[in-house]
Structure 1
Amino acid sequence: MTATSTSILALLAAYLIGSIPFAVIVSLALGISDPRSYGSGNPGATNVLRSGNKFAALLTLVGDAGKGWLVVWGAKALVAHGIFALSPRLLAGMAIAAFLGHVFSVFLRFKGGKGVATAAGVLFGIHWLVGLGTLAVWIAVAAMSRYSSAAALTAAVAAPALAHFVLGDPLWVGTTIVLAAVLIWRHAENIRRLLNGTESKLGKKKEAISR
């Protein structure tokens, strides 16, 4: 197998793992409404929480974060054990591919979630301190504002700075910048609602969305 084919397969595998729509799978398994049919319509843990089923939201959160972590940690483990020779750039590409898989899930016709939990998982895979620091920012802002979107946006801005402080590696700092940029872009509507004062707060019950 050539280096090019190995890289393509690695990126494809990372993307497909990232594409697994845990919000929809968990909701279907537990017999609750498809998260794309209420609230923000986003197939993610925060919107699943609006169903009132905290267990479903927790499973979704663990699944979405876990897939991002698994891709990065697993790839690094394969390199460490000499199973595959993956370059640092390919590892960074796999991290981004897993995140983009969630945002543009092939299983949901490329209409995935906003990527907060998956990005967190990727950051933990890059370095646990980067992940933990970003999570702490999210928790602090969410606790003070009760807005999940505001917490996500603040954490996204903080992530590259944390990566620089912890790792000092331009490659991984650049990776976190890409994640942050896409995440902020995906929250464009949330930013408008925050500015207008119409954004939903954490814990608000579901409302059907218009199709």
Structure 2
Amino acid sequence: MLIQFLIALFAAYLIGSIPFGILIARALKRVDLRAHGSGHTGAMNALRSAGKTAGVLTFLADAGKAIFAIFLARQLTGDEWASALAGVLVITGHILPIYTRFHGGMGLAPSIGALFVFAPLALAAIIALWFPLKFFLKQSLYASMSVALLLTPILFLLRADPATFLFGAAASAIIFARHLADLPRTRSN
């Protein structure tokens, strides 16, 4: 059981590390996302630097890798705690991917994919809050930081199971910290 648990977690990190944004932007537009726009490898920079098709495909691939990693963890272990930790590690792999020297995305698309599996109602609430926050705060970075802070209370209000709550708290902290680290770059633009 321990071996399957460790394999599931290691696989989740490696799956999260797959830089779909780089691969898709390069295939469609011959653009290296690390040298364009924000320099991040996720869906938002793919959208801005390589167009709508690249952005949508990157979002779907990045959300999909979280869904796949969580289901793989469930198949290998049958354990919800392993699934929750796999969700955290796929986000971590997306942000700090081993394949690109730890230069990745912001973690939003894999978080959305994981929430789709763990707490679809919480995901709907987060999406419903993000758009008005983006409108009032004028930047997607601030809206994303705000909903990251709101995820844990939303999961609490929805009475999420302990493993999902752990995932949500960890994902919130990781996403908030990643966006906080990007504030100086955003303010200088």
TM-score, normalising length from structure 2? 0.89
Asked if residue 49 in structure 1 is aligned to residue 41 in structure 2, the reply is no
Instruction: Answer whether contact 2:16 2:90 (CA < 8 A) is retained.
Output: yes
Q: Give identity over the alignment, percent.
A: 31
TM superposition shift of 1:176: 1.0
- Partners of 1:70 and 1:152 lie apart in 2 by 24
Q: What's 1:122 paired with?
A: 114
The CA deviation string for residues 3-37 of structure 1, in whole angstroms up to 9 with x for no partner, is 11111111111111111111101011103311110
Asked if residue 178 in structure 1 is aligned to residue 176 in structure 2, the reply is no
Query: Which residues in structure 2 correspond to 1:81-160 (within 5 Å)?
Result: 84-160=76-152
- Partners of 1:28 and 1:133 lie apart in 2 by 34
Contiguous gaps of at least 5 residues in structure 2: none
Instruction: Answer whether contact 2:119 2:160 (CA < 8 A) is retained.
Output: no
- Partners of 1:54 and 1:130 lie apart in 2 by 26
Contiguous gaps of at least 5 residues in structure 1: 79-83, 200-211
Q: Select the structure that is richer in helix.
A: 2
- Partners of 1:151 and 1:42 lie apart in 2 by 18
- The amino acid of 1:32's aligned partner reads R
- Partners of 2:167 and 2:59 lie apart in 1 by 22
Instruction: Answer whether contact 2:66 2:110 (CA < 8 A) is retained.
Output: yes
Find 2:23's aligned residue among 14, 22, 25. 25
- Partners of 1:75 and 1:6 lie apart in 2 by 8
Instruction: Answer whether contact 2:149 2:172 (CA < 8 A) is retained.
Output: yes
Instruction: Answer whether contact 1:137 1:155 (CA < 8 A) is retained.
Output: yes
Based on CA coordinates, which of the two structures has the bigger radius of gyration? 1
Q: What's 1:7 paired with?
A: 5
* SS of residue in 2 equivalent to 1:50: helix
- Partners of 1:193 and 1:17 lie apart in 2 by 28
TM-score, normalising length from structure 1? 0.80
Instruction: Answer whether contact 1:46 1:148 (CA < 8 A) is retained.
Output: no
Aligned length: 189
- Partners of 1:157 and 1:108 lie apart in 2 by 28
- Partners of 2:124 and 2:72 lie apart in 1 by 19
- Partners of 1:183 and 1:85 lie apart in 2 by 26
